[in-house]
Amino acid sequence: MVFEIESNTDANILRIFVIRHGQTQFNLDKILQGHIDIDLNDTGRKQAELVGETFKNIDLDAITTSDLVRCQNTVKEITKHKKEIPVMKTYNLREREMGQVQGMKLQEALKMYGPEYKNQGEGRESFLKRVKGEWKSMVDTAIANNYSNYGVCTHGGVITSFLNYLHSHEGYKLGEGLTEGDLKVPFNTSVSVIDINKTTRDAVIQDFGNTKHLGSSHLQVKEQRLR
């Protein structure tokens, strides 16, 4: 079953749409990005336009985005179709900082550092701590304001690591048809959907990596080690 990306209308639920930014040239060239502030390429801009079309009829109350330009310019394609809604930019939704391997091709980093190439900068626990803090703040604020639909734009590594963390450590359940094996690095401009009960805070990851707007419901990233 393909989950439909649509507005939540249940007053008891907060629906969060987690969107990955569009493609960059570094994505295409298999270069590790981390905190490098690279913009969308032509394909990424087209992907952003298409995901923007998907959100035309979704009643977003607010959006929080990574402050890196590849996320900000993806969000602009969503907000241009809508009434003015709050857009918050934050460092805390940035990709994991990767130290000296940022800007290196993946194969070069693997050759030089092996499987530890990811650990040349920000530690995994520090990375998860900052994303977890931002997530809690977003959810608390959204529920306090009685929001129903909330957008989040961030990076592939953030989505993969953090949604796996929410499932394995915070009790977020998986929706119909989803398995742990599906929680991989999602495709550019893919949309993942999480429903949170405003009273109990029980949550369900309803869909992960939906790319129906790109012509196929769940396109896959071939190189899962890129960040």
Find out whether 130 is annotated in a ligand binding site. Answer: no
Burial annotation 14-36 (CB, 10 A radius, 16+ → b, else e): bbbbbbbbbbbebbeeebbbbbb
Find out whether 22 is annotated in a ligand binding site. Answer: yes
21 in catalytic set? yes
Q: Is 87 helix (H, G, I), strand (E, B) or coil?
A: strand
169 in catalytic set? no
Find out whether 107 is annotated in a ligand binding site. Answer: no
Measured distance CA(206)–CA(3) in Å, rounded: 8
Find out whether 70 is annotated in a ligand binding site. Answer: yes
Find out whether 187 is annotated in a ligand binding site. Answer: no
Q: Which of 21, 155, 167, 213 does the annotation list as catalytic?
A: 21
Q: Which amino acid is at 132?
A: K
User: Among the residues of 23-116, which ranges form H helices?
Assistant: 25-29, 42-54, 69-79, 106-113
Q: Which of 95, 122, 167, 213 does the annotation list as catalytic?
A: 95
Find out whether 45 is annotated in a ligand binding site. Answer: no
Find out whether 26 is annotated in a ligand binding site. Answer: yes
Annotated binding site for substrate: 20-27, 70
Residues known to be catalytic: 21, 95
Annotated binding site: 20-27, 70
